[in-house]
Structure 1
Amino acid sequence: MSSKKIAAGQLFPAIEVTTTGGELITLGVPQSGADWQMVVVYRGRHCPLCTRYLNEIEKLKQEFFKLGVDIVAVSADSRAQVAAHLPELNVSYPIAFGLSVEQMQQLGLYISHPRSAQETDHPFAEPGLYVVNEQGQIQVLDLSNGPFARPELGILLSGLAFIRNPDNNYPIRGTYD
């Protein structure tokens, strides 16, 4: 089975999703006065590592925002699954739901089938993280085929501070053809 991976430097695909607040948003389009956006794709309610990761992001949310980076998280879960998950999520950034298999493929994500009905009832995305710059390009990305490998948030934050510092003139990396 092959999958097309998304590339650093390319334009982030225009994907519309609905947030738990009922707002229709386009992933990769910054909100709240930020000029960059971090899009975090998580596996869903069934994943305790995702719950922990999303809650860890909240602890650094203000630091990301100081760099001009806002945050949105999204999964393939249904509205009902996300609503049931919200009490475990202590986050103030938008959580979106309903990512389709086609949208997951557009994002170059690894996609898994549930191991059982107790896990979930639909194919779901493995973790993905994208930082989209003011031109709509993918500045930084991390894709995983399982819940155990994700960027360490403190290192990501310090890296983005370095990238965003105009004195460093840091280009998008990984674009060699």
Structure 2
Amino acid sequence: MTHPKPAVGIAVPEMKFAKVGGGELTFGGTKDRWSLLVVYRGKHCPRCKRYLSKFNDMLSDWTDIMDVMVVSADTAERAQSDVAEFGWKFDVGYGMTEPQMRQLGLYVSDPLSEAETTTRFAEPGTYALRPNGELMLVDISNGPASRPDLDELLDGMRFNIDKDRPVRGTA
């Protein structure tokens, strides 16, 4: 049994997501700064809320070193509801498609009931890109209980950026 992994060290083609509040978010391609994408399961996930609220509390530390965005497969209404309820200050995208999920190597789940959600959704994933669009770091999970520790990830990203560390795990 295999699950395709995203290829680190390779440029990620641009992916676009509708943005809460209007406009769109672009992940991939060439940028002026490093980029971080955090994929969350959606409004139905209480673990996501705790994780993203901690991320929000650390936001200025993250934005000092890179651009950040958070995306789910939720509808505009569900994503906007979370932003309003939790006061998230980071950019939130919505409407992630299943082909986008697959392109990022994410695990995809069916809802357990309509009370959860009514469409397939992505399980958690975190991606860091160099300014040239090259995928430097990827962390994917098949469920909500496993995610990178935000303090460790921030410390590691500072180190990677400051020391211009090479991509690891290419073999």
Q: TM-score, normalised by structure 2?
A: 0.93
Distance 1:156 1:73 in 2: 15
**Amino acid paired to 2:166:** P
**Amino acid paired to 1:173:** R
**Deviation (angstroms), 1:80:** 1.5
Matches within 5 A, 1:114-133: 114-133=111-130
Q: Pick one of 150, 164, 172 that aligns with 2:167.
A: 172
State the match for 1:63 in structure 2. Answer: 61
Identity score, percent: 37
**Amino acid paired to 2:105:** G
**Deviation (angstroms), 1:122:** 0.3
Distance 1:19 1:100, change over 3 A: same
Matches within 5 A, 1:132-147: 132-147=129-144
Matches within 5 A, 1:1-150: 3-28=3-28, 35-67=33-65, 69-150=66-147
**Deviation (angstroms), 1:84:** 2.4
State yes or no: 1:159 paired with 2:147: no
2:8 alignment partner, SS class = coil
**Amino acid paired to 1:47:** C
Unaligned runs of 5+ in 2: none
Distance 1:142 1:11, change over 3 A: same
State the superposition RMSD in angstroms: 1.7
Distance 1:66 1:86, change over 3 A: closer
- Between 1:10-19 and 1:97-106, the stretch displaced more is 10-19
Does the 8 A contact of 2:128 with 2:136 survive in 1? yes
**Amino acid paired to 1:43:** R
Q: TM-score, normalised by structure 1?
A: 0.90
